[in-house]
Amino acid sequence: MTLYDAIGLAGTALILGTYALTVAGRVDAKQPAALLGNFLAASLILVSLAHDFNLSAAIVESAWALIAGIGLMRVVLKR
């Protein structure tokens, strides 16, 4: 396993964990914790894709990070 694999697996674990907590009602999808989890997770997966590129995965993770980033900016600007 390479460092890129480990980074990608960490991102996968974080995105799945954030999703599970959101679906279970333990985290509100619009709150900073969920948005930050999604943003960081997608970013970690994108780092791993820099080593072993896959266009479809890169598009999905870029969109995921962008949407979460926009959500984070909205939270910050409301404060």
DSSP E strand stretches across 1-73: none
Token code pair at residue 11: 């991102």
Token code pair at residue 44: 């970690």
- Give the Cα separation of 61 and 69 in Å (integer): 12
The per-residue pLDDT for 14 is 98
| Nearest residue to 21 via CA among 37, 9, 10, 40 | 37
Q: Tens-digit pLDDT profile for the chain (79 aa)?
A: 999 999 999 999 999 999 999 999 999 999 999 999 999 999 999 999 999 999 999 999 999 999 999 999 999 999 8
Is the pTM higher than 0.85? The answer reads yes
The per-residue pLDDT for 79 is 80
Helix (H) and strand (E) counts for the chain?
A: 3, 0
